[in-house]
Structure 1
């Protein structure tokens, strides 16, 4: 009598071959894929992106964290890849990445008293004046913007905006197209001018008075790390020095060419500023690039930062035709002194 034996195939059974191949090639493949997330995590933890070419890939850190989580899920669910020591290593990697990213998705619990005075602000990189003037004016009108910072705005762009009606909505302005950025306002401006900090070009500044308190604005546009990471880092360092002297009622808004994962941006925040997106739990907005076929905006380069005398009430992004950046619109409340 001949019996049939079932159970685990022997080592030389051909049924083991597919699983063996998956294990032989799958684990090294997972390790290869994880070199990018592990490398970016190392740069993120050590701040090696400051002044180095690592500043460019660092904008992809949230994507690398997602990639690490996907690899972990694959290793846990596919039996042939279930090497527990490897799972433990990837779990540790994922936990550290999550620890760095999750706080920006948790809103601050700061209370804004009812009736507190608010400012509606916006910033837009016009892409050398390419932003549609009518769309900019419509944004100001519909969002009831009090202060607008525009970067990469040439003289021709200033004229086009006035022709489209911005002068009637925002008659007060501190214009410095020769230095890249300008500030428009519904309310009278004072102490206007440009910074003398060590940035690639001067940054435009001005103050407005709200509830008898002067609020200082800095329209920011830094150099870009792909062009010169050292120059970009010096720009961010100079802005941090400016922020430390600015006081609690200060707003820095514009195109920082930096994400929250860049060491120079963290240094700027440590100088006394808060990122409005992270404050309100909007942890991963994307403002650039806009207008590419199929590809949506990938990274956040544009921010509204404010001092401790203010608090974010709302923040969001708006897409305007003609520019490769999204506008950032925020409502800021002036906290009681």
Structure 2
């Protein structure tokens, strides 16, 4: 009786085994990465971020879109990972993200009549009064700001700005350091004071007369979703209520602690406001955090929103030393009645 000699596995067999394992790990890795954009898409479509801790990761929605695009590129470029169903699923996921994000990158073609009255406005969170007051005054002077909203500014911050010379540029002031937000203006203020809505603390509001109209400003600083998502959502709901009763010549500007992908922010915009960044096609502005050597600004929490009586002409961000938020500077034009958005 003769025995059968079993040979050792060939190199080709080993390569095939490693290849199968590599493909399996590659597909699993792609699936794990895709879980992020898929989960955030579900939250975005269902509004599950309103009043829940899901509001925190929702600020990463644009980055999740980038992840989806990268995975799609890997699947298309690497034959070993490619399959029709995988490419189809990832393509659908990426397209859903793009459809949701695209409007903020497409500027609205609104006609601003020549000679329209313009207002130069700015907002900045000064991080408890730590922002460099001289730099902020220089910003007001250089940008020729008409109305400045300041958030998170205590009494010592008010005093510092006063010593830096803000009064010479903006002599009209509605200051409420006890309530967290204040308004400075080149123009006389009327109907000024803290709001009475259901917000964590009163917002500061004031009106200015310009171009034969009265424009209402609300300096906004909401609660933050990481601290209490339900309280933050109530703040945003209260702001939406104010917007609905504010008329077309209204500007809400400040630190909303919200991005355009948050359900409460979209509810605020649905109340009749337009985000100036999105209106002008600046869809991925980043205002927070700043002042960290290793972490660049990642997300937009600071906004200038306006009613249909105005239109955005320009918008941008400016860095002021010693605060964790970038300032937002916008130019808004007053539209004639027939030119207003409906």
TM, length-normalised to structure 2: 0.94
1:253 matched residue in structure 2: 253
**What is the distance in 1 between the residues matched to 2:114 and 2:132?**
37
Rounded Cα–Cα distance in structure 2 between residues aligned with 1:21 and 1:316? 49
In structure 1, the partner of 2:86 is 86
* Separation in structure 2 between the aligned mates of residue 15 and residue 158 of structure 1, nearest angstrom: 71
Q: How do 1:122-201 and structure 2 match up within 5 A?
A: 122-201=122-201
User: What residue is the counterpart of 1:225 in the other structure?
Assistant: 225
Superposition deviation, residue 323 in structure 1:
0.3
1:14 is displaced (CA, Å) by: 3.7
- Residue in 2 that maps onto 1:318: 318
Q: SS state of the match for residue 67, structure 1?
A: helix
Give, in whole Å, the separation in 2 of the partners of 1:328 and 1:55.
23
Separation of aligned partners in 2, 1:192 and 1:119: 18
Match of 1:36 in 2: 36
Contact 1:220 1:256 in 2 (8 A): yes
Quick check: 1:237 aligned with 2:240? no
Aligned to 2:309: 309
Deviations 1:87-125 (A, max 9, x none): 110110000000001110000000001100000000000
Q: Which runs of 5+ in 1 are unaligned?
A: 1-9
| Alignment pair present for 1:280 and 2:266 | no
Q: Deviations over 1:15-57 (max 9, x none)?
A: 4344322211111111111111100000000000000000000
Q: Provide TM-score, normalisation by structure 1.
A: 0.96
Q: 2:211 — aligned with what?
A: 211
Q: For residue 118 of structure 2, what is the aligned residue in structure 1?
A: 118
Distance in 2, matches of 1:19 and 1:267, equals 50
3-state SS, counterpart of residue 246 of structure 1: coil
Q: SS of the residue aligned with 2:245?
A: helix
Match in the other structure for 1:332: 332
Partner of 1:102: 102
Task: Give the distance between the partners of 1:16 and 1:303, measured in 2 at CA.
Answer: 55
Structure 2: how far apart are the matches of 1:52 and 1:27? Answer: 32
Contact between 1:119 and 1:331, CA under 8 Å: does it hold in 2?
yes
Paired residue secondary structure (1:197): coil
Q: Is the 8 A contact 1:193 1:204 kept in 2?
A: yes
1:282-336 CA deviation, whole Å, 9 max, x = no partner?
0000000011122100000000000000000000000010100000000000001
Aligned partner of residue 145 in structure 1, secondary structure: coil
Measured after TM superposition, the shift of residue 11 of structure 1 is: 11
Structure-2 separation of matches of 1:255 and 1:320: 15
Secondary structure (helix, strand or coil) at the match of 2:48 reads: coil
Distance 1:298 1:41 in 2: 19
Q: Distance in 2 between matches of 1:61 and 1:297?
A: 15
**Cα separation, 2, equivalents of 1:138 and 1:242:** 32
Q: Does the CA-based 8 Å contact 1:22-1:81 persist in structure 2?
A: no
Q: Deviations over 1:237-258 (max 9, x none)?
A: 0000000000100000000000
CA distance in structure 1 between the partners assigned to 2:87 and 2:149 by the alignment: 48
RMSD (CA atoms): 1.2
Structure 1 Cα separation of the partners of residues 83 and 22 of structure 2: 12
SS of equivalent to 1:121: strand
Q: Are 2:291 and 1:291 equivalent residues in the alignment?
A: yes
3-state DSSP of counterpart to 1:122: strand
